[in-house]
Amino acid sequence: MKELILNGKHNRSKILIGRNLMKQAAEHFRKLFEGGRTPSAVCVITDSNVAKLYLQQVEEELLRLDLPVFHYIIPAGEESKNLNTISQIYDTLSNRQFGRNDMIVALGGGVTGDIAGFAAATYLRGVRHLVQIPTTLLAQVDSSVGGKTGVDLPQGKNLVGAFRQPDMVLIDPAVLESLPEDVFISGMAEVIKYGCIWDEDILKIAEQMDCGGGQNRTNELGALIERCVDIKIKVVEEDETEEGLRRILNFGHTVAHGVEKLGNYTELSHGEAVAIGMAAAVKMGENAGITPRGSYERLTAVLQRYGLSISLTYPVEAVYEALLTDKKKQGNSIHFVFIEAFGKTQVRKIPVGELKQMMKALGD
């Protein structure tokens, strides 16, 4: 088991990575409560898919500590990531007299983690304990770590949210063996992102890794998850609230948010959209002379190795219009992340008119 620490401004996050950690969750919860910080109730927030697989197991671990446990199950899918779901969670918590010293456990993928984290950040102005137990590759390598929480508005993705570092993140790569293939693939896009922005070796591993399922793959993934989380910790510790360095984690996300919006957040998964967005960013970087020629070919080869499509399925003009609601836009400019070389980024604040021009070539 690997133990990593993320020191946030207000909270310290303990991040544990190891096979079968979920089966030993009670032991790790116990350590979290050392020093008299035991909650008097726990609410596990999960989704309708993950509940069938892991809810009972996690609740049993919590019951071993004699903690009163209840749960809230969200219908699986990005469609649930809205203020209506948050309001229903608040109702459940207050009907159960859930208090400020109690604990929310987010059990699931990125959508669940964002919703549960936001509920934990805002109910009673913030509950004391938040634990993330990510069950998808995307959530394990990225979204469960770093404290971003929030929900979508009809106007765009993640437009309401809060920064709330979890007290603990339990990452168990063994649970990835139960992942549907498309969910695995979506996570690989975020893994490849870390190879592009920080550590070319991650890209090299992804270029060679066993693409088949099963334990071999999850063993290889365990090591990759550690590397990605390690990078995420370094970035977030330097810039927790995304005023500088953390922007690099948005590589590929500008165009991705546009295509996700056009597909009503249901046609493409976040990872699939990020793959399209990264390919677009590299092509635009090559055309602008920022990214070395040949990078697009290399990136698209590794994305396609995992079955990730790179083609922009909507007209460029429509993608451009859709991405303008992206929260990374500041006035008439947007921070756009380019790759100077694999492992090295360049963030440029570009006027949206210039971005529109740069995007034109994506339609060719």
Q: What residues line the site for ligand GLY (CB under 6 A)?
A: 142-143, 146, 148, 246, 249
DSSP code of 11?
-
Which residue in 34, 95, 125, 243 is the catalytic one? 125
Task: Provide, rounded to whole angstroms, the least separation between the CB of residue 196 and ligand GLY.
Answer: 14
Which residue in 14, 19, 23, 246 is the catalytic one? 246
Task: Provide, rounded to whole angstroms, the least separation between the CB of residue 208 and ligand GLY.
Answer: 25
Pick 233 or 249: Cβ nearer ligand GLY: 249
Task: Provide, rounded to whole angstroms, the least separation between the CB of residue 247 and ligand GLY.
Answer: 8
Determine whether 250 is an active site residue.
yes
Separation of alpha carbons 326 and 318, rounded Å = 14
Determine whether 246 is an active site residue.
yes
Pick 85 or 143: Cβ nearer ligand GLY: 143
Q: What is the DSSP string of 80-146?
A: G-SHHHHHHHHHHHHHTT--TT-EEEEEESHHHHHHHHHHHHHGGG--SEEEEEE-SHHIIIIITSS
Which residue in 148, 164, 193, 335 is the catalytic one? 148
DSSP code of 54?
I
Pick 39 or 252: Cβ nearer ligand GLY: 252
Determine whether 129 is an active site residue.
no
Determine whether 19 is an active site residue.
no
Pick 55 or 323: Cβ nearer ligand GLY: 323
Task: Provide, rounded to whole angstroms, the least separation between the CB of residue 334 and ligand GLY.
Answer: 16
Task: Provide, rounded to whole angstroms, the least separation between the CB of residue 346 and ligand GLY.
Answer: 18
Task: Provide, rounded to whole angstroms, the least separation between the CB of residue 246 and ligand GLY.
Answer: 5
* Closest CB to ligand GLY: residue number: 249
Task: Provide, rounded to whole angstroms, the least separation between the CB of residue 111 and ligand GLY.
Answer: 13
Determine whether 242 is an active site residue.
yes
**Contact indicator for 121, 164 with CB cutoff of 8 Å:** yes
Mention every residue, 6+ apart, whose C-beta is less than 8 A from residue 213.
177, 181, 184
Please give the structure tokens belonging to residue 144. Answer: 């469960």
Write phi, then psi, for 75 (nearest 5 degrees): -60, 130
Which residue in 28, 81, 193, 270 is the catalytic one? 270
Pick 148 or 257: Cβ nearer ligand GLY: 148
Mention every residue, 6+ apart, whose C-beta is less than 8 A from residue 258.
314, 318, 319, 320, 321, 322, 323, 326
Separation of alpha carbons 206 and 232, rounded Å = 18
Which residue in 157, 227, 247, 253 is the catalytic one? 253
The residue assigned the tokens 């957040």 is 265
Burial 277-292 (b: 16+ CB within 10 A, else e): bbbbbbbbbbbbebbe
Pick 81 or 148: Cβ nearer ligand GLY: 148
Strand partners, 14: 5, 168
Q: What is the DSSP string of 15-36?
A: EEE-TTGGGGHHHHHHHHTTTT
Q: What is the DSSP string of 199-254?
A: -HHHHHHHHHS--S-SHHHHHHHHHHHHHHHHHHHHHHHH-TTSSSGGGGGGTTHH
Number of neighbours of residue 65 by Cβ within 10 angstroms: 16
Determine whether 257 is an active site residue.
yes
Strands 103-108 and 42-47: parallel
Pick 58 or 229: Cβ nearer ligand GLY: 229
Which residue in 257, 261, 283, 335 is the catalytic one? 257
Determine whether 232 is an active site residue.
yes
Determine whether 100 is an active site residue.
no
Active site residues: 125, 148, 190, 232, 242, 246, 250, 253, 257, 270
